C-alpha cells in the first residue's frame, strides 16, 4: 500500500490511466495534470495546482514515457495544452521527491540535476525493458502480419540489435518458423546468435551482404539502415523500426527506393497500454517503497 505517498501524474497516454488506477487502488494521494479531456472519473484523484502547497507534499512526479521535449514541456493525449516543467517548481518539492520518466533528454537531466532531485528513467531499467519486450514482440508480430503478404513462417527476417528487446524478438520469430539473421557489433553477440541457432551478421558488413529479406526489424536508435543498406533490400521488404525516435532508418531514401518503412516506437503503449501501464506502476511502487 502507498497510503502515505503523494504522487503527481503529469501528462501522458493510455498507459497513465492504468498507473493512476493502480495508485488509487494502493491508497496513494494522486494529483493529476494534463487529463482535462479524460472520459472517466477518478474521484480519488485531485487536480494538480502548480502554485499551491500540494507540491511541498510530493514524494514522486510521474512524467509520460516520452518525458519532456527539448524545451521542458510535457504533452499528453488527454489535453490540448503543453505543460511546462519548471526547475523552480521542482525545487519546491521535498528533497526525497523522485521524478519518474520513460526516457530522458539533456533538458530534463539538467533541470532535475539543478533541482537536486532524483531522476529515474524507467526505460533504462533492465526489468522494465524485459517486461516491455512482451507487448513489443506481440505488437511487432501484429504489424508484420498487417503490412506484408507473406507468412512469418519461412520468411527471411533480419533483426538489428540483440539487446533486451532484440533477444525476445529473435527467439519469438525463430519459434514462429522464420529464418532469422541477427546483425550485431561484437564478437560476443555473434557467438550468442550462433548459439541460438540463428545466422549472425556484423552490422558494419551489412552493405556487403546479400540482403534478400522479407522483413527487417531494427531495435538500434542509430543510423544503421542508411541508403547503402536499403538499396540492397528487395522492394517488397518491410522495415519495422521499433527503436526510440528518430529510429535508425533513412525513411526518405526508403520511400524513394519503394521500400515500405514504418517507425513504431512505444509499441507497448499502442498495443497493450493497460499491461504497459501496470508494468510501470509496479516498478514505481517498488522504487518508492525502497526509498522511504
The CA-based angle 106-111-114, given to 5 degrees, is 120
Does the structure show a pLDDT above 90 at 96?
Answer: yes
Average pLDDT of the segment spanning 104-122:
96
pTM of the model: 0.85
Q: Which cell goes with 5?
A: 505517498
State whether residue 228 is helix, strand or coil.
Answer: helix
Backbone angles phi, psi at 34, to 5 degrees: 90, 25
pLDDT at 133: 93
Backbone angles phi, psi at 223, to 5 degrees: -70, 75
Average pLDDT of the segment spanning 147-161:
97
Scored b (16 or more CB within 10 A) or e, 127-139 reads: ebbebbbbbbbbb
Average pLDDT of the segment spanning 115-139:
94
Average pLDDT of the segment spanning 19-28:
95
pLDDT in tens, 217-247: 999 999 999 999 999 999 999 999 999 888 9
pLDDT in tens, 170-181: 999 999 999 999
d(CA 189, CA 202): 9
173 CB-side CA count, 13 A: 33
Q: Which cell goes with 49?
A: 495546482
pLDDT in tens, 33-83: 999 887 666 667 899 999 999 999 999 999 999 999 999 999 999 999 999
Helix H or strand E encompassing 238: strand 238-241
Averaged pLDDT score across all residues of the chain: 94
Least confident of 38-42, 94-98, 119-123, 148-152: 38-42
- Percent of the chain's residues with pLDDT above 70: 98
pLDDT at 40: 62
pLDDT in tens, 4-20: 999 999 999 999 999 99
Q: Which residue has the higher pLDDT, 214 or 37?
A: 214
Amino acid at each position: 500500500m502507498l497510503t502515505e505517498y503523494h504522487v503527481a501524474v503529469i501528462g501522458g497516454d493510455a498507459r497513465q490511466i492504468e498507473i493512476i488506477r493502480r495508485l488509487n487502488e494502493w491508497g496513494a494521494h494522486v494529483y493529476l495534470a494534463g487529463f482535462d479531456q479524460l472520459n472517466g472519473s477518478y474521484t480519488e484523484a485531485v487536480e494538480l495546482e502548480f502554485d499551491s502547497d500540494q507540491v511541498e507534499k510530493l514524494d514522486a512526479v510521474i512524467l509520460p514515457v516520452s518525458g519532456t521535449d527539448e524545451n521542458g514541456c510535457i504533452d499528453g493525449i488527454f489535453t490540448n495544452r503543453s505543460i511546462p516543467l519548471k526547475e523552480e517548481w521542482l525545487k519546491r518539492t521535498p528533497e526525497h521527491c523522485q521524478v519518474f520518466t520513460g526516457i530522458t533528454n539533456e533538458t530534463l537531466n539538467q533541470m532535475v540535476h539543478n533541482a537536486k532531485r532524483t531522476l529515474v528513467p524507467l526505460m533504462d531499467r533492465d526489468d522494465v525493458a524485459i517486461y516491455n519486450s512482451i507487448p513489443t514482440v506481440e505488437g511487432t508480430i501484429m504489424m508484420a502480419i498487417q503490412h506484408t503478404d507473406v507468412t512469418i513462417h519461412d520468411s527471411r527476417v533480419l533483426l538489428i540489435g540483440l539487446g533486451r528487446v532484440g533477444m525476445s524478438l529473435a527467439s519469438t520469430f525463430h519459434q514462429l518458423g522464420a529464418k532469422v539473421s541477427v546483425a550485431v557489433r561484437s564478437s560476443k553477440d555473434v557467438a550468442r546468435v550462433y548459439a541460438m541457432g540463428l545466422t549472425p551478421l556484423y552490422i558494419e558488413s551489412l552493405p556487403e551482404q546479400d540482403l534478400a529479406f522479407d522483413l527487417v526489424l531494427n531495435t538500434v536508435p542509430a543510423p544503421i539502415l542508411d541508403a547503402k543498406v536499403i538499396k540492397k533490400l528487395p522492394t517488397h521488404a518491410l522495415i519495422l523500426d521499433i527503436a526510440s525516435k528518430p529510429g535508425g532508418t533513412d525513411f526518405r531514401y526508403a520511400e524513394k527506393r519503394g521500400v515500405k518503412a514504418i517507425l513504431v516506437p512505444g509499441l507497448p503503449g499502442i498495443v497493450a497500454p493497460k499491461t504497459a501501464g501496470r508494468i510501470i506502476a509496479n516498478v514505481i511502487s517498488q522504487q518508492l517503497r525502497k526509498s522511504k
